[in-house]
Structure 1
Amino acid sequence: MSEIAALLGSAVAALTAVPRSGDAYRGLDDAALLALTRVAADEVRLAQLHVSLLAGEIARRSAPELGSDGLAQREGHRTPEEMVRVTTGTRVADARAAVRVGVAAGAPSPTPLTSAVIDGRVSVAVADAVVGALGRPAAGVTQPQLDEAAAAMVERVAGLDPERAAREARAARDELDLAGIATREQAARERRGFRLGRRAAGGGYAHWELDPETFAVVSEIYDRVTSPRRNLPSFDDGTAAGPSALRATSDSAASGGAEADPDADERTLEQYTSDVFAELLRQGVSADTEHLLGDSPVGVRVVVAAATLAEGRGGGYLEGQPDPVSLATVERLGCATGTVAITVDHDGQPLNLGREQRLYSRSQRIALAARDGGCRWPGCERPPSWCEAHHINHWLRDGGRTDVADGILLCRHHHRLAHNNGWEITRAGPTYLLHPPERGPGGASGGDPESASSPPRTAPPREMPSRSRALRDALKPPA
């Protein structure tokens, strides 16, 4: 006890000595700033690990069979999670995650995932997200299979945030349990519901739990309303087209930051979105959606690998959504709206136009959306409807071709970075690599003036993975 207390006390004392004034960090160059941020993240992971190990022991000493003699109840708490929450001053969700991971880490035979947590390679939050998304054993899926899937994901999720790690884990569960896709889709559908609540002064709020198919439709509308790429709509009553905050996002860079129009709409993006949805409800099926949502009808594409349809096992994906829907849903939507076949070669590349046409066609944009799943810039989550097609070999500078293989979906922000800030994208088969621009010795800003004569640094390229799980299905070798 005294040794652990001394070590933890020394760690707290060392962290207390670290400067806590912003002035101490303003003189850092970019590379040092990012390096210290990573070190600080390591601090957080280790601190969360220590709390989890202690929380696991609290849970062991508060086992239900101990009743009122358990530690938590002796101290006046109903559960070990509550005791951890009160003792650490954290959220309920964080306390529950600490107990879950701590109990697993304290098991007689730790799994590779819990070992990675103990080693500090994976954070407590990421480990908990992976275990939660993999789910529990079911028909055809055993606990050893789930443990094996978690072990195989350790290196892949080590650098991810909990949300992305959970998506990877859900994809792994789907691979293990193809037959359960329809069951999980139905469970999500059963959770659907809508309720209104009142607030003081006459206002109110809505809580809407959406099934996957409805969510895809609603999110398509939401993406159109909020996308910087859209033609800003106007209502019949003459109200302004859209929030000035959104126009500033999409237009200020092009205008050089010119002063805003004093007559511009001052609604926030959230207020504007609320007004559009309210107007859609008012107008109902007779609404002229061209004024509100652009020049094409609202609809959602479903993407599925041809091999999946031929084999009759697996699932498809509603465009922009990471989780699969059943083949029954794919076939129903195909029956209602028709299908478009997108031929994919061995490199995962469809539809080419060469240099006969500069802009990507509608068919090519559909193919890009199916292949990329949204903006492919590492870490970006923008959906296909927010994206623009970028020639990785620039049309004018490089004589680039309007081929899907040489195009990639980027949101407007990252499209500007690619053109204006020196970022380059290269392709090797189905793989796309993002090459950062050369930086001076001190990075883009800051640094030691005496080292200005040093050669520029070039960071290693970053992989730009597709977010389309249907593409992964299409490129999988035959079973």
Structure 2
Amino acid sequence: MSSSLAPLLEAVALVQDSWADAQGGGDLSRAQLIAVNDAIGLLRRTTDAVHAEVAAGLAHESRRELGPESLAKQQGFRSSAQLIATTTGTSTGDAARLVKLGEATAPRTNLLGEVLPAKFPVVRDAMCRGRIAAAAADAIVTFLDRMILKVGRVVAAQAEGLLVEKAAGLSLDEVRKLITRTEAHLDPDGVAPREEELRARTSLTMFLRDGMLHLNGAFAPDKAAPLLAAVHGYVSAEFAAKREGRDPAAPDADRRTVARIQADALVHLAEHALGCESTESLNGATVVVRVDLADLVDGTGYGLIDGIEQPVSIGTVRRMAADGGVIPWVCRDGSEILDWGREKRLFTPAQRLALRERDGGCAFCGLPPEMTKAHHIRWWARDAGPTDLSNGVLLCETCHHLVHDNGWDIRIEGIGVRAKVWILPPPHVDPKRTPRLGGRARTELVA
């Protein structure tokens, strides 16, 4: 327990220090808000580590074979999960997951009473140091438990180290995306079976109530891709119309929420299918499927659809490539010119596709490619920046203004579509200007 308590005590002290200036009821400054929030984040992560270890101890002292001597039963609870849930105000499901995480990361003993390392020591160390939270650790542990049977303990241990290293600083949604892509990399033969399972769960229900049509749907990756591309394209076009002041047909457009605009997009698609031949309002929406050339030729491996987390099988890649409105992005050297220097000001379609491959969407916040534009890092007019991949980046409108108006910098490391995008915060955000990984490489082990 001491290995977890020291960082916890340090985190408590950090919260106390960061909150000290707020005593007396005064409002926090922006710098104080950030400092307190960072300190609370560290405190929660280190508390998670201690609580997971305590949860494992409670479960051990409440195991079924103890009968009436069970600690939980002595306290008036059916199980350790119920005891934890009641104490913390969480669900029994969350408490059970905490117990499972504690058991996977706590030191073990063999039948002789000898102490053994934790099942997942790298996850344990990261939790104790406050680098990852319990939810992220639980997602990683659950994934590794499943993969050990398929790839063996050595490969699983390597994956553990890589996942923990990448997961620090990511949101839980980003960690889940990282795990999804890692699973496809470690077990490419399992992509097709998982894909079939998702197809079997594809559904759309519709019913009328209170004068409105209600929709509830779930779509497999290949079915979701064109739907997402079209809806995102429509939303992007609507935002562009509002910025340019050319939307007289929709007087309430400035007050519509994104959810409302997405609903309008579905209506537009239905109207288009019933007779409209124009596709301009979809803002050039395109489905891009990425696949390695060798995998495409040999029929092995898997492909990735831009904007979709779940990888798809090679069979699905081939079928989608035969459909209209889909661009297959084959990862190989080609003859297309991707660097134009100062000869062209606007990025070409081929360059934008290459940026989609490298950045995966907005390199800063991760919005899908349909809601981004290609921007010069060094401005064309002011800085004489070339129209090359090394000087280009995909950014949504909000992040574009954030970068240019608030002193953020972008650096490209490497060449071509496998280069990495690094985001450098301004000094008032981070005096050390520590680079933050952006683009597709942020949530993929193989970038």
**TM-score, normalization by structure 1:** 0.74
Stretch deviating more after TM superposition (128-137 or 391-400) = 128-137
Q: 1:405 to 1:95 in 2, by over 3 A?
A: same
What SS does the aligned partner of 2:135 have? helix
Name the structure 2 match of 1:85.
85
Query: 1:27-51: CA deviations, max 9, x gaps?
Result: 5463x54333322211111222233
Q: Is this contact kept in 2: 1:375–1:384, CA < 8 A?
A: yes
Q: Is this contact kept in 2: 1:370–1:471, CA < 8 A?
A: no
Name the structure 2 match of 1:390.
375
Structure 2, unmatched stretches of 5+, are 109-116, 243-247
Name the structure 2 match of 1:225.
234
Which residue identity lines up with residue 179 of structure 2 in the other structure?
A: A
Q: 1:128 to 1:471 in 2, by over 3 A?
A: closer
Name the structure 2 match of 1:375.
362
Query: 1:318-367: CA deviations, max 9, x gaps?
Result: 11223311111111122334766667669xx9722332221112232122
Q: 1:317 to 1:28 in 2, by over 3 A?
A: same
Query: 1:219-238: CA deviations, max 9, x gaps?
Result: 212312333675549xxxx9
CA RMSD of aligned residues (A): 4.0
Q: Among residues 217, 220, 227, which one is paired with 1:208 in the alignment? A: 217
Name the structure 2 match of 1:249.
none
Q: Is this contact kept in 2: 1:387–1:411, CA < 8 A?
A: yes
Q: Is this contact kept in 1: 2:181–2:444, CA < 8 A?
A: no
Q: 1:27 to 1:14 in 2, by over 3 A?
A: closer
Structure 1, unmatched stretches of 5+, are 245-265, 445-456
Name the structure 1 match of 2:63.
63
Q: Among residues 170, 175, 187, which one is paired with 2:185 in the alignment? A: 175
In the TM superposition, residue 385 of structure 1 has moved relative to its aligned partner by 0.8
In the TM superposition, residue 267 of structure 1 has moved relative to its aligned partner by 3.4
What SS does the aligned partner of 2:196 have? helix
Separation in 1 of the partners of 2:180 and 2:170? Answer: 14
Query: 1:34-78: CA deviations, max 9, x gaps?
Result: 333322211111222233222222323343556787555665655
Matches within 5 A, 1:419-434: 419-429=404-414, 430-434=419-423
Separation in 2 of the partners of 1:195 and 1:72? Answer: 44
Determine which structure has greater relative contact order: mean sequence separation of CA pairs < 8 Å that are 6+ residues apart, divided by chain length.
1
Question: Does the alignment pair 1:401 with 2:411?
Answer: no
Separation in 2 of the partners of 1:469 and 1:15? Answer: 29
What SS does the aligned partner of 2:216 have? strand
Q: Is this contact kept in 1: 2:362–2:396, CA < 8 A?
A: yes
What SS does the aligned partner of 2:440 have? coil
Q: Is this contact kept in 2: 1:141–1:176, CA < 8 A?
A: yes
In the TM superposition, residue 373 of structure 1 has moved relative to its aligned partner by 0.5
Question: Does the alignment pair 1:184 with 2:203?
Answer: no
Separation in 1 of the partners of 2:176 and 2:408? Answer: 30
Q: 1:382 to 1:148 in 2, by over 3 A?
A: same
Q: Is this contact kept in 2: 1:373–1:383, CA < 8 A?
A: yes
Q: Is this contact kept in 1: 2:378–2:391, CA < 8 A?
A: yes
Name the structure 2 match of 1:124.
134
Separation in 2 of the partners of 1:127 and 1:115? Answer: 11
Separation in 2 of the partners of 1:67 and 1:239? Answer: 72
Query: Identity percentage over the alignment?
Result: 29
Question: Does the alignment pair 1:412 with 2:385?
Answer: no
Q: Among residues 257, 262, 272, which one is paired with 1:273 in the alignment? A: 262
Query: 1:288-333: CA deviations, max 9, x gaps?
Result: 374784354x542211122432454321111122331111111112
**TM-score, normalization by structure 2:** 0.79
Aligned length: 421
